[in-house]
């Protein structure tokens, strides 16, 4: 089968992640190494994923494994290994409040917690090993809809990096041996309008060319940093200046001689030089409590956010330099290909797949845009509450609602609901895909559906 340019690009990037000794054993197109999969794209090809399934009858359910505690981190997959994190106090049920509400309340997490990583066999669900990174009372608080294990792990096929925020950064090998750990200080993002309120850290680490990128937008001294993967030693750290708290995972743009770290934000949506951390371009007027990750597609940088005065979608050209903030009466400029003033998502990272951008809001409003131009193709309300980001495979889109409804939608410019499957549990995490199987992390389980 002939591969398109996007598949070839992802294949080359995945090859750069894989240690030489195991290359011959792997199907490079089936790894899901971090948040939203290969390079954060949100999709995988050459996978025959299911449309319908049933938890009650076990139809297309490959396995189910219970994970104690509470964690909104997403599962990641490399070869036969699946990794997921959690924080558990031993209580019969960790407090969690889902649904559409605007409270700024913090959860009561005054017990002693184990901050843990689990390694499962992808094919059977059997727990291969689990390790406690940290034990103690949480050093920072969380929102009632959040968890103490929000950050998705990331791997290069040799190391697994886990970020527990205020409880530290940990690097393990695939046998569960701790390679190094690093104290990042107190990472306690919260609404900038309510100083002292803490909602829980959620920015996932990213690995590119043996370097870890961390975005730490916190109330005091926000920064973005690069660390050496093998040692944890800091390579550079750049101040995020007057940025407010964010919950965004950074992204990498790389083409020819240009490699940038892209960081979403409110006042500082930025591109940084990958090698030095120097700011290349800056854009302001995002949502004031941003969580979505940037997405790289069509040789463009897609960013969205929503909260407060602004809820934009920005599409930035990668040759941008300087301050590229739009004039109040403009939707494009030299470096912004197209934009939307209102309509961005508060929580979900947009899904860009087969030429279309799917933007899902927390209230279930799904808008399909032509990714190249911003032309609206359809708007449809799924009438559910959503926190997880969408994923895609085999011409199908998968959107997971908080109540556990998985909406399977045909990709393309016309809305067509193919199926609605219920996981019988709360779903806050974005699923993973590998080799015809979708791995859902629910409140209590990891469930493999194939």
- Taking only the tens of pLDDT, the chain with its 450 residues reads 444 444 444 444 444 433 333 333 446 578 999 999 999 999 998 899 999 999 999 999 999 999 999 999 999 999 999 999 999 998 989 999 999 999 999 999 989 999 999 999 999 999 999 999 999 999 999 999 999 999 999 999 999 999 999 999 999 999 999 999 999 999 999 999 999 999 999 999 999 999 999 999 999 999 999 999 999 999 999 999 999 999 999 999 999 999 999 999 999 999 999 999 999 999 999 999 999 999 999 999 999 999 999 999 999 999 999 999 999 999 999 999 999 999 999 999 999 999 999 999 999 999 999 999 999 999 999 999 999 999 999 999 999 999 999 999 999 999 999 999 999 999 999 999 999 999 999 999 999 999
CATH number of the domain encompassing residue 425: 2.130.10.10
At residue 338, the pLDDT reads 98
153-176 tens-digit pLDDT: 999 999 999 999 999 999 999 999
Distance CA 367, CA 370 (A): 10
| Number of domains observed in the structure of the chain | 1
**Residue 223: how many other CB atoms lie within 10 Å:** 18
Distance CA 305, CA 46 (A): 31
Q: What is the pTM of this model?
A: 0.93
For 198, the domain range is 5-449
Burial of 98 (0-12, 13-18, 19+ CB in 10 A): middle
- Token pair recorded at residue 273: 């030089």
Phi-psi region of 21 (alpha: psi -120 to 50; beta: other; left: phi over 0): alpha
Closest residue by Cα to residue 389 from 417, 418, 357, 416: 357
Q: Distance from first CA to last CA of the chain, Å, rounded?
A: 23
184-211 tens-digit pLDDT: 999 999 999 999 999 999 999 999 999 9
Distance CA 270, CA 241 (A): 11
């Amino acid at each position: 089968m002939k591969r398109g340019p996007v598949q070839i690009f992802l294949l080359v990037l995945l090859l750069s992640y894989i240690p030489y000794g195991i290359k011959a054993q792997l199907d490079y197109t089936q790894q899901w190494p971090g948040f939203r999969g290969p390079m954060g794209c949100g999709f995988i090809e050459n996978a025959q994923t299911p449309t319908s399934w049933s938890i009650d009858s076990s139809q297309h359910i490959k396995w189910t494994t219970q994970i104690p505690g509470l964690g909104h981190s997403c599962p990641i997959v490399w070869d036969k290994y699946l990794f997921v994190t959690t924080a558990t106090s031993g209580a019969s049920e960790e407090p969690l409040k889902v649904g559409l509400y605007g409270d700024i309340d913090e959860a009561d997490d005054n017990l002693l917690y184990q901050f843990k990583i689990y390694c499962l066999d992808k094919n059977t669900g059997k727990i291969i090993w689990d390790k406690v990174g940290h034990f103690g009372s949480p050093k920072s608080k969380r929102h009632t809809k959040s968890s103490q294990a929000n950050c998705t792990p990331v791997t290069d096929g040799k190391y697994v990096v886990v970020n527990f925020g205020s409880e530290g950064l940990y690097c393990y090998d695939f046998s569960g041996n701790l390679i190094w750990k690093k104290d990042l200080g107190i990472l306690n993002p919260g609404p900038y309008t309510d100083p002292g309120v803490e909602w829980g850290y959620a920015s996932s680490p990213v690995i590119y060319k043996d370097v870890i990128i961390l975005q730490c937008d916190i109330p005091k001294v926000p920064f973005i940093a690069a660390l050496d993967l093998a040692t944890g030693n800091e390579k550079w750290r750049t101040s995020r200046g007057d940025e407010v708290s964010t919950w965004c995972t950074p992204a990498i743009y790389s083409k020819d001689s240009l490699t940038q770290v892209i960081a979403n934000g409110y006042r500082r949506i930025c591109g940084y030089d990958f090698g030095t951390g120097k700011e290349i371009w800056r854009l302001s007027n995002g949502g004031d409590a941003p969580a979505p990750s940037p997405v790289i597609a069509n040789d463009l940088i897609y960013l969205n956010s929503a909260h407060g005065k602004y809820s934009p979608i920005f599409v930035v050209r990668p040759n941008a330099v300087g301050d590229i903030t739009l004039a109040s009466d403009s939707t494009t400029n030299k470096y912004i290909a197209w934009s939307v003033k209102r309509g961005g998502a508060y929580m979900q990272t947009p899904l860009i797949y087969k030429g279309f951008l799917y933007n899902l809001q927390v209230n279930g409003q799904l808008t399909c845009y032509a990714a190249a131009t911003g032309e609206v193709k359809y708007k449809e309300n799924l009438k559910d509450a959503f926190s997880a980001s969408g994923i895609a495979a085999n011409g199908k889109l998968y959107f997971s609602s908080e109540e556990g409804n998985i909406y399977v939608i045909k990709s393309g410019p016309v809305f067509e609901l193919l199926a609605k499957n219920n996981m019988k549990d709360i779903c806050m995490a974005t699923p993973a895909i590998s080799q015809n199987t979708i791995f859902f992390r629910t409140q209590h389980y990891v469930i493999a559906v194939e």
